[in-house]
Amino acid sequence: MDDLKLEIKKLIMSTLAINDIDPNEVDDEKPLFGGDNALTLDSVDAIEIIMAIQRTYNVRIADQHVAREVVRSIDSIARFITEQKTNPVS
């Protein structure tokens, strides 16, 4: 799971062209949106992250309420991807 979390951090940073933060500085548990994490993201960033996750991991996030929960933190993204890969929705 740690490898997946690092991969997600790198995906987010690549997608958003963030080059001045080390992925290891991003806390897995803290919210990605707000000033409490190394990344300070906004709602436009969330859309780009969701699209990148769907494309990279071949998962679907159709509901905006689910999407909001999925992109809350690195942990929640990793959990969602793992659950989708374990129990894919047909």
- On whether the CB atoms of residues 71 and 1 are closer than 8 A, the answer is no
Is residue 9 within 8 A of residue 26, CB to CB? The reply is: yes
Structure token digits, residue 32: 């990605």
Predicted confidence (pLDDT) at residue 90 exceeds the cutoff of 60: no
Q: Return the domain boundaries, the chain.
A: 2-17+27-86
Q: pTM value?
A: 0.90
Query: What is the pLDDT, as a whole number, of residue 36?
Result: 79
Q: What percent of the chain stands above pLDDT 90?
A: 76
d(CA 49, CA 77): 10
Contacts of 69 (CB under 8 A, 6+ apart): 76
Confidence category of residue 88, pLDDT binned at 50, 70, 90: low
Q: pLDDT tens digits, residue range 10-30?
A: 999 999 999 999 999 999 999
For residue 39, what pLDDT is reported? 84
State the CATH architecture for 2-17+27-86.
Orthogonal Bundle (1.10)
